[in-house]
Structure 1
Amino acid sequence: MTRSNFSTISGEAKDRPAGLQPLLERAGGKSILDIGTFNGLIPYEFAKSDPRVIHGIDFYEEGIRAARTIFESCYLDSGFFIYDLSFGRDRFKSDFEGKLLQSYDIVLLLAIYHKLVRQMSQKDLHELMDYFIGLSDQYIAARTPDMGPLDELIRRQGFELVYFDGFNKALAPLHIYEKIRKER
Structure 2
Amino acid sequence: MNTIELQFDEKNSDVLIWNGQVVMSRTEEEYFEALFARLRYLSPSKVLEIGFGLGISAALIQKHLMPAQHDIFEVEQGIYMDLQEFANRHASVRPFFSAWQTVQNEEKYDFIFYDPFDYIPHGQFPSYSKSETATRLKQLLTPSGLLCHPHFGDGDVPDVEGFDTVIVERLQVKPIRMADESTCEDVAIVYHQPKA
Superposed, which structure 2 residues align to 1:52-71 within 5 Å? 52-71=68-87
Q: Is the Cα–Cα contact under 8 Å of residues 117 and 125 in structure 1 kept in the other structure?
A: no
Q: 1:96 aligns with which of 90, 96, 103?
A: 103
**Aligned residue number for residue 159 of structure 2:** 152
Deviation at 1:81, TM superposition (A): 1.5
Percent identity, aligned pairs only, is 11
**Aligned residue number for residue 5 of structure 2:** none
**Aligned residue number for residue 114 of structure 2:** 109
Q: TM-score, normalised by structure 2?
A: 0.62
Q: 1:162 aligns with which of 144, 165, 168?
A: 168
Relative to its length, the structure with more strand (as a share) is 2
Deviation at 1:55, TM superposition (A): 0.8
**Aligned residue number for residue 3 of structure 1:** none
Superposed, which structure 2 residues align to 1:4-43 within 5 Å? 8-12=22-26, 15=29, 17-20=32-35, 21-23=37-39, 25-26=40-41, 28=43, 30-43=45-58
The gaps in structure 2 that reach 5 residues or longer are: 1-20, 178-183
Q: Is the Cα–Cα contact under 8 Å of residues 27 and 175 in structure 2 kept in the other structure?
A: no
The gaps in structure 1 that reach 5 residues or longer are: 1-6, 86-91
- Quote the Cα distance in structure 1 between the aligned partners of 2:154 and 2:112: 16
**Aligned residue number for residue 126 of structure 1:** 131
Deviation at 1:123, TM superposition (A): 5.9
Q: Is the Cα–Cα contact under 8 Å of residues 139 and 176 in structure 1 kept in the other structure?
A: no
Q: Is the Cα–Cα contact under 8 Å of residues 27 and 51 in structure 1 kept in the other structure?
A: no
- Counterpart code for 1:109: Y
Relative to its length, the structure with more helix (as a share) is 1
Q: How many residues were matched structurally?
A: 161
- Quote the Cα distance in structure 2 between the aligned partners of 1:149 and 1:121: 28
